[in-house]
Amino acid sequence: VEPTQEWADEVRRLAEKRNATILAHNYQLPAIQDIAHHVGDSLALSRIAAEVDSDEIVFCGVHFMAETAKILSPGKRVMIPDERAGCSLADSITADELRAWKAEYPDAVVVSYVNTTAEVKGLTDICCTSSNAVDVVASIDPDREVLFLPDQFLGAHVKRQTGRDNIHIWAGECHVHAGINGDELADQAASHPDADLFIHPECGCATSALYLAGEGAVPADKVKILSTGGMLDAARSTGAKQVLVATEIGMLHQLRKAAPGVDFQAVNDRASCPYMKMITPAALLRCLREGRDEVDVAPDVAERARASVQRMIEIGN
Ligand code: 13P
Ligand code: SF4
């Protein structure tokens, strides 16, 4: 299925007929981003999912995002065009592993990145996304220990920003972002000395970027550690003519739309998330025609997870 005008018309017609809102993450294929009713980062999409008044939500993103929408809007039918769209980061900690970790630190506050399963969220005190992780951790009593999971690079960023030394960080990672490494970034920054650097905190290179800035190899004001939504805000106000972007390459589409006069280049142009790209034009059409794949979260699990997700959408608003 090609994303033709006929395809777009049919998608919109079916969405209207079903009374469905189509949400798309910034890493989706350009055609999917362009047809969606709302495009955004994980936090913005969760907030929209909590508030939309349609009967159905079609989540063009990965499974944990659709689960989060279901947790926040249990009365709605939530669908994902391909339920196999998982996430290597969410897979990096299981509920049993978290139970065992909590048993070691029974008094700690558990902060989980939204990239986790509903079961893990059910064992969590506060969820966060990359756009509010620092605010979430800063909101916790400085004397309480914190367990931060599952992303080690985002965890290192939060630790640096908050200056806390009582934060324990799980050693998980997203294979796409971990693959954007410091050497690549250093080479690109050296050959584009006037460019801004937009870096997602899940990247393996986030620490090296700050190191380069600390060493004076890159001007510190050019290094920006940002969520995907934060990158769009920064794109609209940057004075730079060129920006090197360290995140999943789907992001370039929204950046180029937001600031057409700026030249955005991927630090690693192979950084494509295979799960995000499972949401094809054909899959979206099938989803709207057949009403699947429906995403369900067991009511008791959703009940346990809801408070932590609710706190996430309230903090940093
Ligand atoms: P954000 O859009 O919240 O920055 O998340 C990035 C991500 O990796 C989602 O899978
Ligand atoms: Fe998960 Fe990484 Fe893909 Fe985001 S880019 S969905 S964190 S595997």
Q: Tell me the pTM.
A: 0.95
Mean pLDDT value across the chain: 94
Residue 54's nearest CA partner among 89, 90, 92, 16 is 16
From atom 5 of ligand 1, which residue's Cα is the shortest distance away? 42
Please tell me if the CB atom of residue 129 comes closer than 6 angstroms to any atom of ligand 1. Answer: yes
User: Is 200 within any annotated ligand binding site?
Assistant: yes
User: Is 205 within any annotated ligand binding site?
Assistant: no
Give per-residue pLDDT as tens, 28-64: 999 999 999 999 999 899 999 999 999 999 999 999 9
Is the Cα torsion angle 167, 168, 172, 177 positive or negative in sign? Answer: positive
Report CA(163)–ligand 1 centroid distance (Å): 23
Report CA(273)–ligand 2 centroid distance (Å): 6
Average pLDDT over residues 74-79: 96
Average pLDDT over residues 166-187: 93
Domain boundaries, the chain: 5-86+276-296, 90-174, 180-266
Give per-residue pLDDT as tens, 293-317: 999 999 999 999 999 999 999 987 6
User: Is 25 within any annotated ligand binding site?
Assistant: yes
284, two tokens: 């979206």
pLDDT at 317: 64
How sure is the predictor about 219, in pLDDT bands with cuts at 50, 70 and 90? confident
| Cα angle 290, 63, 288; round to 5 | 20
Return left, alpha or beta for 238; rule: phi > 0 is left, psi -120 to 50 is alpha, else beta. beta
From atom 9 of ligand 1, which residue's Cα is the shortest distance away? 42
Give per-residue pLDDT as tens, 78-119: 999 999 999 999 999 999 999 999 999 999 999 999 999 999
The CATH superfamily holding the domain 180-266 is: NadA-like (3.40.50.10800)
d(CA 190, CA 296): 48
Atom of ligand 2 nearest to the CA of 85: 6
Q: Does 2.30.30.40 match the CATH number of domain 90-174? A: no
Residues within a 6 A CB radius of ligand 2? 27, 62, 87-89, 115, 174, 176-177, 248, 273, 275-276
DSSP letter for 172, please: B
Atom of ligand 2 nearest to the CA of 275: 3
Which of 3.40.50.40, 3.40.50.10800, 3.40.50.800, 3.60.10.10 would CATH assign to domain 5-86+276-296?
A: 3.40.50.10800
pLDDT at 245: 96
